[in-house]
Structure 1
Amino acid sequence: MTSLSTSKDIDYRVTAENVEKAFGDNKVLRGVSFRVQSGTATTIIGPSGSGKTTLLRTLNALDRADSGVIRVDDVEIDFSTPTPKPEIRRFQSRSGFVFQSHNLFPHRTVLENVIEGPVMVQKRPRDEAVADALALLDQVGLAEKKDQYPFQLSGGQQQRVGIARALALKPKLVLFDEPTSALDPELVGEVLSVIKDLAVEGWTLVIVTHEIQFARQVSNQVLFTDQGVILEQGTPAEVIENPKEERTRQFLDRILNPL
């Protein structure tokens, strides 16, 4: 296993070492290693089928890695060995996940969706959860929608509720899986604006995105994945403006200069 030495002067919220994941004969992740500093935004870009979403899901054990070591905050798991379910739940509790397709409970109001995790999973007092949820809904611009149901909201509003729901768990890490891919183009900006605000506020974010201009603006670190490996990583200036790898250049040229 390739070891990533960690400087005592840098607080890494996420450390992944030699992460492998396959679905049957399809090897999706091939020895992936990277780190995420606390209070920074990391974006993962790359072609479809390159392993971006699977990599993100391993950080919350929604897809359990086959091998490799992942640490999120103070919980580290070696996925090469069996891990008790309580430890997996502890690992998962360190992060909040924002899905592509909102995944809101259709029969519950906006407020009820946001307090579900804190009350039912974290067993926090309802009054406390409601107060936090109202503050978060105000933060994402949806305080006046608290008593409405998901079907009464636009796709962008539903996604902003999904972000508030993830933040309500008070996670150490927030994971976004292509948060604008299911939205109409005119709704993309409102969701990206909320995520940019979170980055400015110092949340630790890992974002799978196909929005290259957004990645350029919000990222402290960009990972370019291809065929299950991180082919290139660095700052937006390094990866997006001046990529070293020909494959990265080809991908960016196709995205930024479509015919």
Structure 2
Amino acid sequence: MTDSTGETEYRVVADGVEKAFGDNRVLKGVSFTVQRGTATAIIGPSGSGKTTLLRTLNALDRADAGVIRVDDVEIDFATPTTKSEVRRFQSRSGFVFQGHNLFPHKTVLQNIIEGPVIVQKRPKEEAIADAVTLLDQVGLADKRDQYPYQLSGGQQQRVGIARALALKPKLVLFDEPTSALDPELVGEVLSVIKELAVEGWTMVIVTHEIQFARQVSNQVLFTDGGVILEQGPPDEVLGNPKEARTRQFLERVLNPL
């Protein structure tokens, strides 16, 4: 399906995605879509397949079966694929990890331009100009020449976001971006992601921050046992869930005592 500009309405289409690690079936025929310019939050208990699902969207974990399309690149994971096909698929998205994953021996600026220059072969001057703009956007313009160890956890995560955006991806993937942070640092990272949502970046966010998911997302997927049990607008899934398991999960998360 395309819109009036001729662009594909859906940025992501996943159909029947399967993934197992040994005898453990982590994803059991997962299907969903993500519209261009929207944010999708994936919530669910530990071990429900949230992170694995996210990683299949960038082929960091290669699905065993199912079809995934990101922007204009589609892969049927039940059939053999070449390395170049996988690289093209991966180039459509940027990934923000739980633990920052910054190069400790490189400065903030060097971390951000690594992908554009080394992987995308873009001119270094262009990559630096983009990086400076992104650092200003995430509130770290004065940290460009510092090293990761000189930054707080929240600042490191904001660098990680800038690094992902520097690739100019069609899709930005966030794997529990605040889970490794002290509580007092969570807000600064969530505020950056909220700004990205307002700007119309297409995002899929695995998160345990339920109120954040309600505020930032256009769609919520609730996963459990390797399947999507419920999906829809946040007001429905989080405010008036249809499934008993969703209600049970939300009650435990929102009222832990």
How far apart, CA to CA, are the structure 2 residues paired with 1:237 and 1:178?
A: 21
Residue 37 (structure 1) aligns with: 35
How far apart, CA to CA, are the structure 2 residues paired with 1:33 and 1:120?
A: 34
Q: Show the 5 A alignment for 1:4-19.
A: 6=1, 11-19=9-17
Residue 22 (structure 2) aligns with: 24
**How far apart are 1:8 and its partner, in Å?**
6.3
How far apart, CA to CA, are the structure 2 residues paired with 1:8 and 1:205?
A: 19
Q: Deviations over 1:140-171 (max 9, x none)?
A: 00000000000000000000000000000000
| 2:241 counterpart letter in structure 1 | P
Match of 1:184 among 182, 197, 201: 182
- Secondary structure of the residue aligned to 1:241 is coil
- Secondary structure of the residue aligned to 2:69 is strand
How far apart, CA to CA, are the structure 2 residues paired with 1:15 and 1:236?
A: 20
How far apart, CA to CA, are the structure 2 residues paired with 1:166 and 1:191?
A: 14
**How far apart are 1:45 and its partner, in Å?**
0.1
| 1:148 counterpart letter in structure 2 | Q
Structure 1 unmatched runs, 5+? 1-5
> Which 4+ stretches in 1 moved above 6 angstroms?
7-10
How far apart, CA to CA, are the structure 2 residues paired with 1:142 and 1:74?
A: 33
Residue 152 (structure 2) aligns with: 154
Match of 1:128 among 126, 129, 144: 126
How far apart, CA to CA, are the structure 1 residues paired with 2:164 and 2:140?
A: 15
Residue 74 (structure 2) aligns with: 76
- Secondary structure of the residue aligned to 1:48 is coil
How far apart, CA to CA, are the structure 2 residues paired with 1:171 and 1:121?
A: 13
Q: Deviations over 1:16-56 (max 9, x none)?
A: 00000000000000000000000000000000000000000
**How far apart are 1:7 and its partner, in Å?**
7.1
Residue 248 (structure 1) aligns with: 246
Residue 165 (structure 2) aligns with: 167
How far apart, CA to CA, are the structure 2 residues paired with 1:258 and 1:163?
A: 30
Match of 1:208 among 199, 206, 209: 206
Residue 141 (structure 1) aligns with: 139
| 2:111 counterpart letter in structure 1 | N
Structure 2 unmatched runs, 5+? none
| 1:178 counterpart letter in structure 2 | E
How far apart, CA to CA, are the structure 1 residues paired with 2:187 and 2:124?
A: 33
| 2:97 counterpart letter in structure 1 | F
| 2:57 counterpart letter in structure 1 | L
How far apart, CA to CA, are the structure 2 residues paired with 1:40 and 1:7?
A: 15
Residue 108 (structure 2) aligns with: 110
| 2:135 counterpart letter in structure 1 | L
**How far apart are 1:68 and its partner, in Å?**
0.2
**How far apart are 1:98 and its partner, in Å?**
0.1
Residue 222 (structure 1) aligns with: 220
How far apart, CA to CA, are the structure 2 residues paired with 1:143 and 1:110?
A: 10
| 2:232 counterpart letter in structure 1 | G
**How far apart are 1:258 and its partner, in Å?**
1.4
How far apart, CA to CA, are the structure 1 residues paired with 2:223 and 2:3?
A: 28
Residue 3 (structure 1) aligns with: none
How far apart, CA to CA, are the structure 1 residues paired with 2:243 and 2:187?
A: 30
| 1:176 counterpart letter in structure 2 | F
| 2:37 counterpart letter in structure 1 | G
Q: Deviations over 1:147-199 (max 9, x none)?
A: 00000000000000000000000000000000000000000000000000000
How far apart, CA to CA, are the structure 2 residues paired with 1:163 and 1:224?
A: 24
How far apart, CA to CA, are the structure 1 residues paired with 2:3 and 2:119?
A: 34
Residue 48 (structure 2) aligns with: 50
How far apart, CA to CA, are the structure 1 residues paired with 2:31 and 2:221?
A: 11
Match of 1:194 among 189, 192, 195: 192
How far apart, CA to CA, are the structure 2 residues paired with 1:64 and 1:176?
A: 17
| Higher deviation after alignment, 75-84 or 6-15 | 6-15
